[in-house]
């Protein structure tokens, strides 16, 4: 629950701008200054025409820069977040990061209306502190999650991220995010104090085997699936409001409800697919490796198919646009059961560090996605958006193929406990100890769950 609530708070600060930017930019003024938009398939709504006071004159390229600026800072602290959580404990890292970003979020509305570059810098600094959070949270999950319930609990914890706050003014979105962020740290601190004595609340100090990590095919397979999934998610997360406004001509009020639908299904798919995956693995119907493969195949194939189909719909076909985007984005949530839980599968001790590496690489996708959309869709035509969808589909296809070819669902030898006298070199020894460690962890977690903590 703590991780779920944190996801709501963090993502409200991170992604409100995707909706707010549609409201804050003077769209009609930008279109009227462009004499080459005669082939645009769009209908600028009456609300946008009549409600342009205090709006900013930002081009598509500038909007793309604003949306990607968060990831400039987010890129730099992912691996550091994993290291700090292992050295100083993930609870302190999360608490400090959320509190600092709440203060920075407070001054964002002023900077947005005062100086464009100042706003970019503040968004980058917010990203800098946010980069510490999820590697630390994955470290927590690695210690607290029972191995036979990893898919469901990770899905439930991360489903809190998928929250889109609908707003009419940038200031309203930012202030709401700030309010949530200020309320969260006291609750978080109270929970940390209550659980301070729990045997799983501390981590073992171990050396990180960087050479083995960076040369592991299982790690790179998971990273490939992670990067592809995040690229597709960032494309839709930052661009869905713009697509609905530019191509479908939807106003802000109706757009909010429509754009929220895919993420409702997204959250359901994350948690439901995790529960099903745990059932399949614990029942022995499929191996962990094949379960991860199937999750990625379903997630990526559905997203590719529905995105391409959306690009060929008629401009006024709102109903099928909503259905296709809801199914495409919603079913893509199953990817969490594929790549995200796989970090816990292959290296539970170093799950935070691996997620830090994955998020670092995925930040490139976070930077490229809005910039790419801004450059390609400068006129907002249907053909431009088709190009965006085809590029996204190609990335998903390549990432999915790499993941399915090299994924591994077992704890890797370099991530297993090592004795003082020898390290595990035999693959068979690694498999035996891997099974033994899993069984011991399951029993330990079940025992601790039955205890009462004050």
List the beta bridge partners of residue 25: 56
Architecture of the domain whose range is 2-34+51-202+209-449: Up-down Bundle (1.20)
Q: How many helices (H) and strands (E) does the chain have?
A: 20, 0
Rg (CA), the chain: 22
In DSSP notation, 341-374 reads: THHHHH-STTHHHHHHHHHHHHHHHHHHHHHHHH
Enumerate the domain spans of the chain: 2-34+51-202+209-449
Distance between CA 51 and CA 158 in Å, rounded?
Answer: 36
CA dist 92 and 188 (Å) reads 10
Question: Is the four-CA dihedral 292, 295, 298, 301 of positive or negative sign?
Answer: negative
Residue for token digits 């003077």? Answer: 26
Residue ranges in the chain whose pLDDT is less than 70 = 1-9, 11-16, 18-57, 59-60, 147-148, 159-206, 251-257, 259, 417-454
**Burial level of 451, CB count in 10 A (0-12/13-18/19+)?**
exposed
Residue 232 and residue 236: Cα distance in Å, rounded? 6
Q: In terms of pTM, does the model score above 0.85?
A: no
For residue 56, the tally of other CB atoms under 10 A from its CB is 18
Q: What are the tens digits of pLDDT across the range 434-446?
A: 554 455 444 444 4
pLDDT of 448: 42
Question: Which pLDDT score, from 0 to 100, does residue 426 have?
Answer: 44
CA-CA distance, 297 to 305, in Å (whole number)? 12
Cα-Cα-Cα-Cα dihedral of 6, 340, 159, 371, to 10°?
80
Q: How far apart are CA 109 and CA 272, in angstroms?
A: 38
CA dihedral sign, ordered 26, 30, 32, 33: positive
Given this model, what pLDDT does residue 388 score?
Answer: 92
What pLDDT is stored for residue 338 in this prediction? 94
How many other C-beta atoms can be found within 10 angstroms of the C-beta atom of residue 422? Answer: 8
Give bridge partners of residue 56 from the DSSP assignment: 25
- Percentage helix, strand, coil for the chain under 3-state DSSP, each rounded to 5: 75, 0, 25
Note the pLDDT of residue 197.
47
- Interhelix angle 2-24/217-246, rounded to 10 degrees, is 40
Q: Are 11 and 167 in contact, with CB atoms under 8 Å apart?
A: no
- Please list, in sequence order, all residues whose beta carbon lies within 8 angstroms of the beta carbon of residue 337, skipping any fewer than 6 positions away: 151, 155, 270, 273, 274, 277, 291, 292, 295
Given this model, what pLDDT does residue 395 score?
A: 95
Under DSSP, the state recorded for 92 is: H
What is the pLDDT, as a whole number, of residue 443?
44
CB 190 within 8 A of CB 2: no
- Per-residue pLDDT, 133: 87
């Amino acid at each position: 629950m703590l991780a779920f609530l944190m996801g709501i708070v963090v993502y409200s600060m991170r992604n409100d701008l995707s909706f707010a930017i549609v409201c804050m930019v003077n769209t009609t003024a930008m279109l009227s200054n462009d004499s080459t938009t005669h082939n645009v398939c769009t209908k600028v709504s009456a609300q946008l025409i009549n409600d342009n006071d205090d709006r900013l004159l930002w081009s598509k390229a500038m909007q793309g820069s604003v949306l990607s600026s968060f990831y400039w800072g987010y890129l730099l602290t992912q691996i550091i977040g994993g290291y700090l959580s292992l050295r100083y404990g993930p609870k302190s890292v999360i608490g400090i990061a959320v509190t600092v970003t709440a203060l920075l979020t407070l001054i964002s509305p002023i900077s947005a209306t005062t100086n464009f570059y100042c706003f970019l810098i503040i968004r980058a600094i917010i990203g800098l502190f946010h980069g510490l959070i999820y590697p630390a949270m994955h470290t927590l999950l690695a210690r607290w999650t029972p191995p036979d319930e990893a898919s469901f609990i990770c899905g439930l914890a991360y489903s809190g991220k998928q929250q889109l706050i609908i707003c009419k003014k940038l200031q309203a979105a930012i202030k709401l995010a700030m309010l949530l962020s200020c309320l969260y740290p006291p609750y978080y601190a109270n929970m940390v104090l209550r659980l301070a004595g729990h045997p799983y609340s501390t981590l073992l100090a171990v050396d990180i085997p960087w050479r083995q990590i960076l040369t592991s095919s299982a790690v790179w397979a998971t990273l490939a699936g992670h990067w592809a999934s995040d690229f597709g998610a960032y494309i839709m997360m930052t661009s869905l409001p713009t697509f609905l406004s530019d191509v479908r001509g939807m106003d802000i009020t109706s757009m909010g409800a429509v754009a929220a639908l895919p993420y409702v299904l997204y959250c359901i798919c994350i948690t439901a697919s995790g529960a099903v995956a745990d059932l399949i693995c614990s029942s022995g119907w499929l191996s962990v490796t094949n379960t991860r493969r199937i999750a990625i195949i379903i997630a990526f194939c559905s997203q590719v198919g529905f995105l391409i189909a959306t690009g060929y719909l008629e401009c006024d076909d709102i109903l099928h646009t909503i259905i296709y985007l809801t199914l495409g984005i919603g079913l893509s949530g199953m990817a969490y059961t594929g790549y995200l839980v796989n970090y816990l599968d292959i290296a539970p001790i170093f799950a935070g560090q691996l997620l830090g590496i994955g998020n670092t690489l995925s930040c490139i996708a976070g930077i490229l996605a809005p910039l790419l959309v801004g450059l390609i869709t400068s006129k907002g035509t249907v053909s431009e958006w088709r190009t965006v969808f085809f590029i996204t589909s190609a990335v998903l296809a390549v990432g999915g193929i790499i993941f399915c070819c090299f994924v591994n669902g077992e704890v890797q030898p370099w991530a297993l406990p090592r004795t003082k006298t020898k390290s595990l070199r035999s693959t068979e020894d690694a498999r035996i100890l891997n099974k033994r460690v899993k069984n011991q962890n399951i029993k330990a977690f079940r025992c601790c769950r039955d205890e009462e903590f004050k």
